[in-house]
Structure formats: structure tokens, C-alpha cells
Amino acid sequence: MPNATPDGVPREGLTIHTLPLGPWDNFIYLLADEATKTCAVVDPAWHAPSILQEAQRLDLKITHILCTHSHFDHVNRVEKLVEALDIPVHMLRPEIEFSGYRCENLVPSSPGDTLRVGKHVDVTMMHTPGHTPGSCSYRLRDAIVTGDTLFVDGCGRCDFVGGDPEQMHQTLQTLLDKLPGDTVMYPGHDYGPTASAPLAQQRSTNPYLQHKTVADFVAHRMQGKTPNTGLSRPPDWVPEDS
Ligand SMILES: [Fe+2]
């Protein structure tokens, strides 16, 4: 039953390795083609040596960097990895235009673009705006990596600059409508009772997926929040990259 396999167990040649890292409970993912021992890294942040060592431990060669969005807690080690590996960095064009994000080897991508990792793993870029205008979720066979769009029993904030709770509501509806319920969701932060969860389970337990109207969702998501809030400053946690 490949759909229910826990982290680290091959699903028809694809393995999703999860690396918890940093002071804000980020998840960094290695999306691996087991046959060729190659992988894409999603949202490399906080400590490049930990990411490189994890790939080495798993005997994986990193061939792509995939960014779900431009917030610094998801991209702050992209440049270190590009320096070390000289590989392409994918981010959706609307996110690049919104944020002004730049780095070496940046590939502006379009919604629906599919890239191949190794020989067997296809990753499709889904535009999932709401947390930021160009947020991307990465769709694989029976899994989706959602960044700060959807968490286990939560969803991304919409009060930061570029956030839009009405767009977020539409995005979440689209994810539920278009993807099979047994699709396993891998979020950008470890905020829930489990690291990942099937969408069908989220449909029943995630409080942000229970609202009948857009207005109810917006009121819940923006409760106590001020639109156009700046991102928090990074804490002093960050260790040296040596
Ligand atoms: Fe974010």
C-alpha cells in the first residue's frame, strides 16, 4: 500500500526524506529517486552542512533546489548549496516578481512545470497562493510538499506582506478538490501532531478546512492579526556553516 508508507520508506522508487532543522521547526525534504540515488532538496535553510551531510549519509546526490516560497526561513541556505553544488534553483515566477529574490542559477518556473529527478521521479509545480503570491506546492505521485500553505492541522499565515486569506481559501479548496484523499501532505514546518498526514484526514481534523464560507475562513485566519505584517527577525540560533 504505497500511499500510506511512512517517511523514509520507498514508494515505487521515490523516497521522501524529512530533515527537521532550525529554530522555527522547519522541515527540509530530500525527494529521492532511489534507482539513481539522486534527489531534489526542498527549502534548504538554516544549516548547509546538516543538509549536505544528510544527503551524504543517505548516499544521495542533490541535483535540484526547489523553493516553496521566498521567506528567509525557507531559502537562507540556498546560496551555500549553490556554491557547493552548482545546481539549478527553482521558484515560481510570481514569487520572484513579488519578492525580488535573486540567487545564482535561479530558474523562474511556471505553474504546471514538471521536472524530473533522476530517471523516475517527476515533480510538478502547483501555484498555491495565499501565504505569499507565488507560493508553490510540489506534487509527486501520491504526495505533495506544501511549504507554508498547508500544515498538519493548520495553514500558513496570511497577514504577512503579500499574504491574502481569500486566495488561501481558494488554494485550500483547490487542493482538496483536485488531489486524491490519500495524497500525503508534507508541510514546511513541524507544527502538528504528526510530521505528515493524508489530505483526507486533514479534511476532517484541520480546523482551517472546516469553514463553509470564505468570510468564515478569513475571519478565523486573520483573527488577532494585522494585514501586511513584516516577517519576524531571525533568532540568534543560527550556527556557523563550517
Ligand atoms: Fe513563509
Q: What is the pLDDT along the chain (242 residues), one digit of tens a residue?
A: 343 455 555 556 899 999 999 999 999 999 999 999 999 999 999 999 999 999 999 999 999 999 999 999 999 999 999 999 999 999 999 999 999 999 999 999 999 999 999 999 999 999 999 999 999 999 999 999 999 999 999 999 999 999 999 999 999 999 999 999 999 999 999 999 999 999 999 999 999 999 999 999 999 999 999 999 998 887 776 677 76
Residue 157 lies in a domain: yes
Does the annotation mark 131 as catalytic? yes
Q: What's the CATH code of the domain at 28?
A: 3.60.15.10
- Cα of 1 to ligand 1 centre, how many Å? 33
pLDDT of 78 reads 98
- Cα of 53 to ligand 1 centre, how many Å? 25
Residue numbers of the domain that contains 55 = 9-221
Residue 236 lies in a domain: no
Does the annotation mark 71 as catalytic? yes
Residue 205 lies in a domain: yes
Q: Is the dihedral of CA 59, 64, 70, 72 positive or negative?
A: positive
Residue 195 lies in a domain: yes
pLDDT of 162 reads 97
pLDDT of 3 reads 39
Domain total in the chain: 1
Q: How far apart are CA 29 and CA 107, in angstroms?
A: 19
| Annotated catalytic residue within 69, 90, 127, 169 | 69
- Cα of 69 to ligand 1 centre, how many Å? 7
Residue 57 lies in a domain: yes
Does the annotation mark 211 as catalytic? no
Residue 242 lies in a domain: no
pLDDT of 6 reads 55
Residue 2 lies in a domain: no
- Cα of 120 to ligand 1 centre, how many Å? 30
| Annotated catalytic residue within 17, 47, 169, 189 | 189
pTM, two decimal places: 0.94
Residue 230 lies in a domain: no
Does the annotation mark 64 as catalytic? no
Does the annotation mark 90 as catalytic? no
| Annotated catalytic residue within 33, 43, 142, 148 | 148
pLDDT of 235 reads 77
